[in-house]
């Protein structure tokens, strides 16, 4: 069969779906990866092709709210699906699901599936404009999900939001999965750094990742533990909900945060850390935390949807309230005060990754539901 995988970044497709793509190729399926034309990540495209996939492009404004541009996205996806005629379309992230699933149905792709990887900016209904966006997004999702056989959710809270807003049609089945999983051999166990205690946040520069809370916690802890290191690794973002790069660089000049820029391979940075931190407001299932767990790193996360699925409080890390720098600092300080927690909770995280988040098991689960394995 020909399987089309539609996403919003070549890098994300490589990082999150490599195991699935390789498994599809091993089973003898043809794989078409559809990524944005504006994505200049030639290395990401080359990596997809090295897995045996073909790559096609389409226009996408990931963050924009321009209906004319979104209409162009929809029309282009319809043309791609009509030309390629895949047997299966698998769409993930917001706009690829909303426009891709509908375009695939109109182009008569026989089997269509969607994965909700997180609710994103439009479901943060904390202002009048966001409440309007929530209603628009709910309507668009309702149309798109009426076009798919199965919608996958990565956590129960996201599923409940969709159910409470009557977004999932009765004709569409619902399945749960452990995010995209983590490649255990790729993110191999490594001894954590104990001295100096080093905390690492991996994520795009978005306010919803809890970047400002992390900086606030680092400021509090630096005053008491000047040797402790607080690092941020991730690409800059623009548009609604982003944290300006200039603000992050200001924290660096202040001496509280080390901004490491972006990378294709997080493993050296995780290896040079004691604990991974993600004070996110909401996640699907946080890949950065799963990758850290696989490498034997304890975690500090918020008690938020998605995050609470990967961290058992007091076992492989700590959970703290949302948007609370003081509580975040207190949890991080426990690792500074008792370095034995770093190794003990890191080992527990690795065990949890092996039993619950193995990407091979996650991929097999998805492919069985899609009737491809």
Is the pLDDT score of 124 beyond 70?
no
Is the pLDDT score of 179 beyond 90?
no
Distance CA 304, CA 292 (A): 18
The confidence score (pLDDT) of residue 89 equals 98
Q: How confident is the model at residue 201 (pLDDT cuts 50, 70, 90)?
A: very high
Residue closest to 339 by CA, chosen among 190, 193, 194: 194
The confidence score (pLDDT) of residue 126 equals 61
The confidence score (pLDDT) of residue 265 equals 94
Q: How confident is the model at residue 122 (pLDDT cuts 50, 70, 90)?
A: low
Which parts of the chain fold into alpha helices (H)?
Answer: 10-26, 42-50, 67-84, 94-95, 101-106, 128-145, 156-164, 211-224, 245-254, 267-271, 287-294, 325-337, 340-356, 359-369
The pair of structure tokens assigned to 310 is 């990967």
Question: Average of pLDDT values for 66-92?
Answer: 96
Cβ-Cβ contacts under 8 Å for 135 (sequence gap 6 or more): none
Answer yes or no: CATH 3.30.460.10 is held by domain 198-356: no
Q: What percent of the chain has pLDDT over 90?
A: 87
Is the pLDDT score of 125 beyond 60?
no
Beta-carbon count within 10 A of 277 CB: 35
Domain with CATH 3.40.50.2000 in the chain: 2-181+358-369, 198-356
DSSP state for residue 99 in the 8-state scheme: I
Residue closest to 210 by CA, chosen among 321, 44, 99, 73: 321
Question: Average of pLDDT values for 38-59?
Answer: 93
Q: Per-residue pLDDT tens for 126-160? A: 667 767 777 888 899 999 999 999 999 999 999 99
Is the pLDDT score of 336 beyond 80?
yes
Is the pLDDT score of 213 beyond 60?
yes
Question: Average of pLDDT values for 170-199?
Answer: 96
Which parts of 255-339 fold into alpha helices (H)?
Answer: 267-271, 287-294, 325-337
Q: Match 């969607």 to its residue by tokens.
A: 114
**HSE value, Cβ hemisphere, 13 Å, CA-based, for 92:** 21
Q: Per-residue pLDDT tens for 219-268? A: 999 999 999 999 999 999 988 889 999 999 999 999 999 999 999 899 99
Beta-carbon count within 10 A of 253 CB: 8
Beta-carbon count within 10 A of 85 CB: 12
DSSP state for residue 7 in the 8-state scheme: -
Is the pLDDT score of 347 beyond 90?
yes
What CATH architecture is 2-181+358-369? 3-Layer(aba) Sandwich (3.40)
DSSP state for residue 1 in the 8-state scheme: -
Q: Per-residue pLDDT tens for 279-298? A: 999 999 999 999 999 999 99
């Amino acid at each position: 069969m020909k399987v089309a995988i539609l996403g919003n970044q070549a890098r994300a497709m490589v990082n999150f779906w490599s195991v699935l793509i390789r498994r599809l190729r091993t089973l003898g399926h043809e794989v078409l990866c559809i990524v944005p034309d504006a994505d200049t990540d030639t290395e990401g495209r080359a990596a997809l092709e090295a897995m045996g996939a073909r790559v096609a492009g389409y226009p996408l404004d990931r963050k924009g709210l321009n209906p004319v541009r979104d209409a162009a996205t929809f029309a282009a996806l319809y043309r791609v699906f009509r030309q390629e005629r895949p047997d299966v379309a698998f769409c993930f992230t917001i706009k690829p699901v909303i426009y891709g699933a509908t375009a695939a149905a109109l182009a008569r792709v026989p089997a269509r599936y969607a994965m909700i990887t997180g609710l994103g900016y439009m479901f943060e209904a904390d202002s009048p404009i966001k409440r309007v966006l929530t209603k628009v997004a709910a309507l668009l999702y309702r149309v798109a999900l009426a076009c798919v056989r199965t919608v996958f959710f990565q956590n129960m809270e996201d599923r409940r939001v969709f159910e409470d807003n009557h977004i999932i049609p009765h004709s569409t089945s619902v399945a749960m999965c452990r995010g995209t999983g983590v490649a255990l051999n790729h993110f191999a166990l490594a001894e954590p750094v104990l001295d100096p205690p080093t905390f690492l946040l991996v994520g795009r520069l978005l306010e919803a990742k809890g970047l400002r809370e992390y900086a606030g916690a680092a400021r509090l802890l630096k005053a008491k533990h000047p040797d402790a290191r607080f690092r941020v690794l991730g690409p800059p973002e623009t548009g609604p909900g982003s944290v300006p790069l200039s603000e992050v660089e200001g924290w660096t000049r202040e001496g509280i945060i080390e901004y490491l820029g972006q990378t294709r391979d997080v493993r050296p940075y995780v290896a040079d850390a004691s604990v991974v931190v993600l004070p996110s407001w909401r996640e699907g299932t946080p890949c950065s935390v799963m990758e850290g767990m696989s490498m034997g790193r304890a975690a500090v996360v918020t008690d938020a949807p998605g995050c609470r699925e990967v961290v058992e409080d007091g076992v492989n890390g700590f959970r703290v309230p949302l948007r609370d720098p003081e509580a975040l600092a207190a949890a991080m300080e426990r690792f500074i005060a008792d370095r034995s927690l770093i190794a003990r909770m890191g080992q527990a995280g690795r065990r949890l990754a092996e039993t619950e988040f193995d990407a091979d098991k996650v991929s097999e689960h998805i492919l069985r539901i899609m009737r491809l394995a």
